[in-house]
Amino acid sequence: MTYLTHLECSVCGDRHSPHELQTVCRSCGKTLIARYDLQAAKAVLKKEALRDQLPSLWKYSALLPIERAENIVSLGERITPITPLPVLGKELGLQDLLMKDEGQLPTGSFKARGLVMAVSKAKELGVKSACMPSAGNAAGALAAYAARAGMESYVFLPEETPEINIKECLVCGAHVELVKGNISDAGKRMNELRKCNPGWFDISTLKEPYRLEGKKTMGYELAEQLGWTVPDVIVYPTGGGTGLIGMWKAFDEMEQLGWIGKKRPRMISVQSSGCAPIVKAFRENKKESQFWEGAVTIASGLRVPKAFADHLILDAIYASGGCAVEVSDEEIVAMTYEFAQKEGLFICPEGAAAFAALRYLVKEGKISGSERVLVFNTAAGIKYPEVVRR
C-alpha cells in the first residue's frame, strides 16, 4: 500500500493526478513533486517495524509511489553501507567522518535508485518506450531497468561519456546515440527525435516526478542507519541534484511522520571548477543558475551545465545554512589515489570531488572537528578506469 495522494508543482502548487502519465507542471512547466497522506501514514507506520524488513530500499514502499507490487521492476536494490573513515578523518581532524557508498547498488551507482522508481511507475502507467539524455550512469541504469521491464530504451550520450557507460547501455539492448557536446546537447538531439516518436516517454532528471522519489530513499536510509538522527553536515557531489533535493524532501517527510526532529544537516553541494553553475549561483545569492558555457570535467556526472530544478537545489542549500564549493580536476584525480591508498576504497571522480572539497571546508573552518560529517560516493570507482594512469 502506498499513501501517495497527488503530484504538486514545486513552484505554482498546481495539483496533478498520479494515476495518469505526467511530466512537468501543465501550468508553468516546472518540476512535479509526489505528495503523500503523511498524517494517515503516521497513525499506521512505525519506524521500529522497519528493523525486521528486508535490507532494501523497498522497505519504505508505503512512502513510495508504486501502487501495485507486481509493477516493481527490481534488480535487488540494497541498503548501501555507511562506512567510517578513520584514517582520513584523523588527518582532517574530524572525529566522526562517514561515507555512504552508493557504488554498491545495481549498475554500480546511485542512479539505480531513481531509475528503479521511474521505470517501475512508467510500467505501472503503461509506458512501452523511454528516453533520456545522460552523462553516463543514468543511461546505464535506464538501460538495465528498461530491459528488466521489457521496455524499449533510447539514450543520448555526449561523445566523451566513459566507455563503460556506453557498453553497459549497449549490452542491455538500449538504442544509443553519441552526440557532440555535453548533456544539454544530447537533450536537444533527443527532443528533435521525439517529435517523430511521440511514444517515447522522457525520463530525464526532474522532468518526470518519480526519479526524485527513488533518490529520497537515501535520506530515509541514512536516518535509520544513524539511529533516526541526521548528520551535522552532508557533502554531496552535484550534477542534476536529484539526490540532494530528494534527501531534503525525505527529512521533511520523516519529521511529519515523527521519525526525526527538526534538526537538518547543512547541505553542501560540490561541483568541478570546469562546470560549476550551482557554485556560481550560490556565490551570487541567486535563486537559479545560469547555463555554464564550455563545461569540461573528468567527473562526467558533474558535467551538467544547468540543472533543470536548480532552484530546488539552491533552496535546500540556503535553507540548511549550507554552501556550494568547486574543486579542480587535478584535485579530483589526486583524491582518487589518496583515498584508495588511505582507506582502501576506489571511489568515483564525483565522490573524490566531494572529499577534495571536504579538505577545503575543514581548512576554512566551515566544518568543525566535533561534527558528524557524511560524504556521498555516488558510484563505483571501477566504472572510471580512465582516471587511473599506468
Q: How far is the C-alpha of 116 from the C-alpha of 106, rounded, in Å?
A: 10
**For the segment 291-301, what is each residue's pLDDT rounded down to a tens digit?**
999 989 999 89
How much is the pLDDT for 143?
Answer: 98
Per-residue pLDDT of the chain in tens (390 residues, 90 and over written 9): 899 999 999 999 999 999 999 999 999 999 999 999 999 999 999 999 998 888 999 999 999 999 999 999 999 999 999 999 999 999 999 999 999 999 999 999 999 999 999 999 999 999 999 999 998 999 999 999 999 999 999 999 999 898 999 999 999 999 999 999 989 899 999 999 999 999 999 999 899 999 999 999 999 999 999 999 999 999 999 999 999 999 999 999 999 999 999 999 999 999 999 999 999 999 999 999 999 999 899 998 999 999 998 999 999 999 999 999 999 999 999 999 999 999 999 999 999 999 999 999 999 999 999 999 999 999 999 999 888 887
pLDDT at 152: 97
pTM of the model: 0.94
Opening angle at CA 204, ends 329 and 264, nearest 5:
65
What pLDDT is attached to residue 135? 87
